[in-house]
Amino acid sequence: MNIYDDIRKGERGAWVSIAAYLILSAFKLVSGYLFASSALVADGFNNVTDIIASLAVLVGLRISRKPPDSDHAYGHFRAETVAALLSSFIMAMVGIQVLFDAARSLFSGIEAKPDLWAAGIAAVCAVCMYGVYLYNRNLAKKINSQALMAAAKDNFSDAIVSVGAAIGIVGAQFGLKCLDVVAAFAVGLLICKTAWDIFRDSTYRLTDGFDEEELKDLRSAIGSTPGVEGIKDVKARVHGNHVLVDVVIEVDPRLSIIEGHRISDEIEERLTDMHNIMNVHVHVEPKDVDILEPGVHGLAIKK
């Protein structure tokens, strides 16, 4: 498996998202102002934030392709996470602005009736964005990219937002003129929620948070490896799209270094095949230190 080739393929999906958002955001903003639709304008601003998010993914993927150097022994894979964190702040600012504009329109007493054409535009944009979602989802599954899959889920949420905007605009045609503004308010809330989700996930990863249930699965896979008689410690952290695992195992103290290395190889293969773990550090210690000869210590094997 060539990690860097997969990252390069992921950039293609980011470019598709950027191109789609550039076209659709411009189309929605112009049409929203032209047809007096607050919901369509808000949806357009939502796509503007998505351009920023997609650019962040693209820049992060570009930087993460840089090979390890003297200052980054583990590579640059976390650049993508840092970029996502920065984009969450920008998205939050835009979301708050959309909420402010929607509230101002709601309490200003001005009830502009949006043109029905705005609903058709929103529906067409929803179909286009759903197509982008399908493309990025399939590509993300093919290259096993969590970042691109997250972008695909964002594409799907944008399609839903456009559907909501269309519903609000149609409702305004039947006398529910405030429904268009309410739809714009809902879009603003969705932008803020997306920003919060990205912020929470990014900070969790940057502070080396790791899911306990997944850690239990790793422990189970390691414990079932032939030759492993005990597990003293298992730690894991997310490094960009990859997981780094540190494990301390106990083995028969009479095993040779070669046999200990074989067990470490088996652990690496199991974690790679079952959990797509790309880097495993195994420290081998004797199960019963009382029968060891003086001066014999554990083995640290870097995979």
Q: What is the structure's pLDDT at 90?
A: 79
Q: What is the structure's pLDDT at 2?
A: 59
Q: What is the structure's pLDDT at 132?
A: 92
194 and 216 in a single domain? The answer is no
In the predicted model, residues of the chain with pLDDT beneath 50 are 1, 296, 299-303
Is 254 strand, coil or helix? coil
Cβ-in-10-Å burial (0-12, 13-18, 19+) of 178 comes to middle
CA 49 to chain centre: 16
Q: What is the DSSP letter of 296?
A: -
Cβ-in-10-Å burial (0-12, 13-18, 19+) of 211 comes to exposed
Q: What is the structure's pLDDT at 75?
A: 76
How many structural domains are present in the chain? 2
15 and 88 in a single domain? The answer is yes
Rounded distance between C-alpha atoms, residue 184 and residue 290, angstroms: 71
CATH number, domain of 56, equals 1.20.1510.10
Q: What is the structure's pLDDT at 302?
A: 47
Kindly list the distances between the CA atom of residue 64 and the CA atoms of 6, 11, 53, 77, 210, in Å, as whole numbers in the listed order: 11, 11, 16, 4, 20
165 and 220 in a single domain? The answer is no
108 and 237 in a single domain? The answer is no
Last residue of a domain, one of 156, 188, 206: 206
Angle separating helix axes 116-143 and 38-64, nearest 10 degrees = 20
Last residue of a domain, one of 183, 206, 229: 206
35 and 132 in a single domain? The answer is yes
Q: What is the structure's pLDDT at 170?
A: 82
Last residue of a domain, one of 206, 221, 243: 206
For the question of whether the overall pTM of this predicted structure is more than 0.85, the answer is no
The DSSP bridge partners found for residue 279 are: 244
Q: What is the structure's pLDDT at 210?
A: 87
Which structure tokens are listed for 66? Answer: 């840089």
Edge-to-edge strand order for the sheet containing 242-251? 230-239, 242-251, 279-286, 299-302
134 and 189 in a single domain? The answer is yes
66 and 200 in a single domain? The answer is yes
139 and 55 in a single domain? The answer is yes
Rounded distance between C-alpha atoms, residue 285 and residue 282, angstroms: 10
202 and 61 in a single domain? The answer is yes
Contact between residue 107 and residue 136 where contact means Cβ atoms under 8 Å apart: no
Q: What is the structure's pLDDT at 111?
A: 56
Contact between residue 148 and residue 12 where contact means Cβ atoms under 8 Å apart: no
Domain span at residue 253? Answer: 212-302
201 and 290 in a single domain? The answer is no
CA 93 to chain centre: 20
Element (H, E) at 112: none
Give the total residue count for the chain: 303
263 and 188 in a single domain? The answer is no
CATH number, domain of 272, equals 3.30.70.1350
At 4, the amino acid letter reads Y
195 and 270 in a single domain? The answer is no
